[in-house]
Structure 1
Amino acid sequence: MRAAADSDLEAIAALYALEVREGLATYEYEAPDLAEMRRRWRALVEAGYPYLVAECERDGAWRFAGYAYASAYRTRIGYRWTVENSVYVRPDCQGRGVGRALMLRLIADCEALGFRQMVAVIGDGSNAASVGLHERLGFKTAGVFPGLGRKHGRWLDTVQMLRPLGEANVGEPDENVPGLK
């Protein structure tokens, strides 16, 4: 587990493109090109959010397995202590603990940065693997939005799950958290 680097962006873009084309975790219809993925990554990293890469063993070698990052939950300044997580794992590495490892590190990094809540926005409410992963990591369902998005000819429910970080809603917040300033 490590911070994502520019050299990871081709693999990140390819995995995200697969999800855009075939999956339901994102409601984008057109996969962003490498330049756009680089722009998104750079914006998050420069704002101080964690962006991680994991590797798993395949064919006797360690290779890119997935990525996770935190971003602003909402753009209004009063939300700056809340992050949204995103996690994507290659299909051939799923079920091997990669998503869990990425999320555990992401949670720890966000706590260390002073964030107080983490929100998971699960684009396909029937995605039992993602909901289960988040539940095992202490997320609770905060709401289900029926038919909030549409992709691949289907109306999709969106699940929002919430997990407190660190001291959560106790005491005065750190005004210097990354992100919105």
Structure 2
Amino acid sequence: MLEEEYQQRRTLPRRLRKPEPPEAPFDYTLREAVAADLPSVREIYNYYVANSTVTFDEDAMTLAEWRDKFAYLGKLGMPFIVAVSPTQQILGYALVTPWTQKRAYRYTVENSIYLGPAATGKGLGRVLLADLIERSADAGLKQMIAVIADQGADASLALHREFGFRETGRMGRVGFKFDRWLGIVMMQLSLS
């Protein structure tokens, strides 16, 4: 008997198999981040620092650094939101930061969206970005910039295009992480 025939015989016909249990719904709520969320936010971000090139940071951020960033963004009135499961686990977050410190850029921000590994591929990034755009426009911000790695971030590029971000430029070999050179794709969305 051929291996393929043997494998086919080992598989029960669909009508005799146990039905797959229904997948649990992916429930969450969005809300403004609070200081108590920062340990979870730090854990999510540091996962990407250690395991990917979607951030060019090479050193894990400390809780003190996250507290400083949180206070700074709060002082500026910048949106910082989290997605929270029914059990109050932080599934992901989204925030904007000033594009640069020069005063003339005060209405232009850079976005950041990070999901916990178990929350990827479920549409949560799309929901976070939509909410972040709305909150940023409501805060009087005018331009949103996305700086995306040119390797390994195809989903992020597609998501931003879906929301109307347009590519405004590329820079090659500007970051060096994991013993390789990386570039960036810059995208922009007008909020008004």
**TM-score calculated relative to the size of structure 2:** 0.81
Distance 1:25 1:122 in 2: 7
* Structure whose alpha-carbon radius of gyration is higher: 2
Using CA pairs under 8 Å that are at least 6 residues apart, name the structure with larger relative contact order, 1 or 2: 1
The answer on 1:14 being equivalent to 2:14 is no
**2:133 maps to which residue?**
107
2:181 to 155, 158, 168: 155
Unaligned runs of 5+ in 2: 1-29
**2:73 maps to which residue?**
44
**TM-score calculated relative to the size of structure 1:** 0.85
User: Which residues in structure 2 correspond to 1:22-171 (within 5 Å)?
Assistant: 22-56=51-85, 61=87, 63-166=89-192
**1:4 maps to which residue?**
33
1:27-50 Cα distance to aligned partner (Å, 9 max, x none): 111101111111111111111101
Q: Is the 8 A contact 2:54 2:152 kept in 1?
A: no
Distance 1:43 1:123 in 2: 25
Q: Is the 8 A contact 1:124 1:159 kept in 2?
A: yes
Unaligned runs of 5+ in 1: 167-181
| SS of residue matched to 2:89 | strand
Shift of 1:124: 4.0
Q: Is the 8 A contact 1:56 1:98 kept in 2?
A: no
| SS of residue matched to 1:12 | helix
Q: Which amino acid is the alignment partner of residue 64 of structure 2?
A: A
The alignment covers a number of residue pairs equal to 163
More helix by percentage: 2
Distance 1:100 1:159 in 2: 19
